[in-house]
Amino acid sequence: MSNRCIKILGIGNDIVKISRFTVNSENERFLKRAFHPVEIEKFKELKLQSQQNALQYLAGRWAAKESVYKAFKGIERAKLNFQNIRILSNSDGSPYVDLIENSLDLSKQLNVTDIHISISHDTDYAIANKSISIS
């Protein structure tokens, strides 16, 4: 058994109704404000197959970003722009957080070592949980 001591900086969760993205997801300005181009591209790809799956994807990403923000505890939003909190997928489909630009700088300042993430959906809602570990 490992004796490694893990310090938790914070935990965060968020829940959002998927239908809240029905109208604003048609607005390019909104998409660019909240999501990274890679996420927007994936959303549009999913939309060609299923509108519901695409909205579920977007809602899950939003909830994940919001929970990352909450897990950083009290940090001003300007240092955690949502486009700079990328929620990407591993080859098995599991999500992971990829911080870039000012969000990455912040995580380095705080000695963040790991961000654990989980996203779930059920019909109308998407929910995400995060915990942030530091050294």
Partner 1 sequence: MLSRSFKSLVQIQRPVLMAGQSSMIRSFSSDHRLSEKEVTDRILEVISKYDKCAGKSVSPSDTFKELELDSLDSADILVAVEEEFGIEIPDEEVDRITSVKDTISYIRKTPTAK
Task: Pick the closer one to partner 1 by CB: 101 or 114.
Answer: 101
Question: Is 47 noted as a catalytic residue in this protein?
Answer: no
By rule CB under 8 A, what count of residues binds partner 1? Answer: 17
18 makes contact with partner 1 (CB under 8 A): no
Residue 128: closest CA among 93, 87, 89, 82:
87
Answer whether 11's CB lies under 8 Å from 73's CB: no
**Cβ 48 to partner 1 shortest distance, Å:** 24
Which residues from 51-70 bind partner 1, rule CB under 8 A?
A: 62, 66, 69
Of 7, 8, 19, 33, the one binding partner 1 (CB under 8 A) is 33
Answer whether 70's CB lies under 8 Å from 127's CB: no
39 makes contact with partner 1 (CB under 8 A): no
83 makes contact with partner 1 (CB under 8 A): yes
35 makes contact with partner 1 (CB under 8 A): no
Burial, 55: exposed, middle or buried (Cβ in 10 Å; 0-12, 13-18, 19+)? buried
d(CA 56, CA 18) in angstroms, rounded, equals 6
Question: At which residue do the structure tokens 């990274």 appear?
Answer: 36
What positions carry a catalytic annotation? 70, 121
